[in-house]
Homo-oligomer: A and B are copies of this chain.
Amino acid sequence: MFESAELGHKIDKATYDKEVPQLREALLDAQFDLAEKAGFPVIILVGGVDGAGRGETVNLLNEWMDPRFIQTHGMGDPSDEEMERPMMWRFWRALPPKGKIGLFLGSWYTWPILNRVMGLTKPAELDQSLERAKRLEKMLTDEGALIIKFWLHLSKEMQEKRLKMLEGNPKTRWRVNKRDWEHYKRYDKFLTVNESVIRHTSTAEAPWIIIEGSDARFRSLTVGKVVLEALRKRLTETDKKKEPNVRAAPLLPSIDKLNILETLDLTQKLEKKKFDKELEKYQGKLAQLTLDPRFKDITVVAVFEGNDAAGKGGAIRRITSAVDARQYQVVPIAAPTEEERAQPYLWRFWRHIPRKGRITIFDRSWYGRVLVERVERYCSEFDWMRAYHEINDFEAQLARHQTVVVKFWLTISKEEQLRRFKEREKIGFKRFKITDEDWRNRDKWDAYEQAIGDMVDRTSTEAAPWTLVEANDKNFARIKVLKTLCQRIEAAMKKK
């Protein structure tokens, strides 16, 4: 795998001096083209062995290109806030927007490799990490990102030579520390793991580019040319506005119109008296659970989706009024902001993922992708088709991080919706809740039912199951929501 990167590649000074000015100019042109069109983000990972010039490569790109359009991230040890969230959160936080370049020194590969070399993880765990990395990269490239992954390699002899050379020069001595020499001692172990990582994660979308790191001129020129070619290629493709390759098999057609929602018994009711008693019981329980010391290790992400006028707001308030305001956050999902539009669609949800001991309630959520965006054709079929597994992947990451992911679909009948719409139009302070859009959505009832059915089928997982809530009776719905939430939190605490 590293054969070509141990040949002793070299570029002489004359050639280098001749080529660099043209290369810089071309790189700048491509970069401005990228910034102007703002069509896609560029993610450059700089990995490799110690002493192979990773830091120099980052500096070089910042010098050769316009640093105003580059965001450099040296990913060191995670902060406490980062530790309290799934591992990928800190990378989501650092993703470049469309039109910019994100330069990562240290990536989602760094810790999986280190942990494996140090024997802290088993081979199967490394494989799992790599699968996660691949899924992230697949999602990013599907979202249009250009990913360039550099691996700077040195042979064992060359690494020793480079480290000694760096140490010998007072200008660069500081670049070498004890850890570098410790890594050098484990060169062979690193080699095995690195090779395996590169092999597993060199995908068609995001292949690794292995470069010999010993000669600075060779390394620099190669890096520059690879970046240039990749940028040019993608910019031309974008000009052509190529449609993504959709090879999605059609979903299950609804031939008998029997939908999962129709299996629900919407006549279920809870009388006022019984409701008051149950409300007291479950609000008290929720209060108790969130005050329990074990809750400090748990995160709760609650998703509320449902028909228009199904009573999401009322159900949410029955939760929040039982929880200390310092522990919860309600995130209503409206139109994305400019910064959000310049990122993959899951970005605006990742940014709200809470720390341990907190509850975040999403009033509508990432499921908009497979509901309204699908039905109203705001995104392509390819986009909403891939969303199912991207969402499952997202929620699996949360669940793996001791997050209780609880998802409610509040269902009302078409008749009950009509009754509520009319009622809302009559009451002054409820009128704002009903808009022309609600009436329009109602006309597409069947298309939505199909989308909801597909959503539940495809995203109800063991880690993050959907709870369908019969909501024709508000009291019944509110208690079912509270009770389910309590049960899920309790179950998570017992596991501890």
Chain A interface category by residue count: 35 or more
A68 within 8 A of B: yes
Q: How far is the CA of A67 from the CA of B24 in the complex (A)?
A: 51
Contact of A24 among B106, B316, B338, B428 (CB under 8 A): B428
Tell whether, in the assembled complex, residue B338 and residue A76 are in contact, meaning their CB atoms are under 8 Å apart.
Answer: no
Tell whether, in the assembled complex, residue B174 and residue A67 are in contact, meaning their CB atoms are under 8 Å apart.
Answer: no
Tell whether, in the assembled complex, residue A325 and residue B58 are in contact, meaning their CB atoms are under 8 Å apart.
Answer: yes
A337 within 8 A of B: yes
> Which residues of B lie under 8 Å from residue A73 when comparing CB positions?
329
| Chain B, residue nearest A330 (CB) | B67
A170 within 8 A of B: yes
| Chain B, residue nearest A289 (CB) | B174
Tell whether, in the assembled complex, residue B22 and residue A326 are in contact, meaning their CB atoms are under 8 Å apart.
Answer: no
The residues in A between 66 and 110 inclusive whose CB is less than 8 angstroms from any CB of B are 66-68, 72-76, 79-81, 105-106
Tell whether, in the assembled complex, residue A62 and residue B326 are in contact, meaning their CB atoms are under 8 Å apart.
Answer: no
A230 within 8 A of B: no
Contact A22:B338 (CB < 8 A) given known A55-B325, A325-B55: no
Contact with B along A54-65 (1 / 0, CB 8 A): 011011001110
User: 4 more A-B contacts (CB under 8 A) besides A21-B428, A67-B332, A338-B338?
Assistant: A21-B429, A79-B81, A174-B287, A174-B322
Residues of A bordering B, CB below 8 Å: 21-22, 24-25, 27-28, 32, 55-56, 58-59, 62-64, 66-68, 72-76, 79-81, 105-106, 170-171, 173-175, 177, 280, 283-284, 287-288, 291, 313, 316-317, 320-322, 324-330, 332, 334, 337-339, 355, 363, 427-429, 431-432
List 4 tightest A-B contacts by C-beta distance, closest first. Answer: A74-B325, A174-B287, A74-B326, A76-B326
**Could you name 17 residue pairs across A and B whose Cβ atoms are closer than 8 Å?**
A21-B429, A25-B429, A25-B431, A55-B324, A59-B317, A62-B317, A66-B432, A67-B363, A68-B363, A74-B327, A76-B326, A79-B81, A81-B81, A106-B326, A171-B283, A171-B284, A173-B284
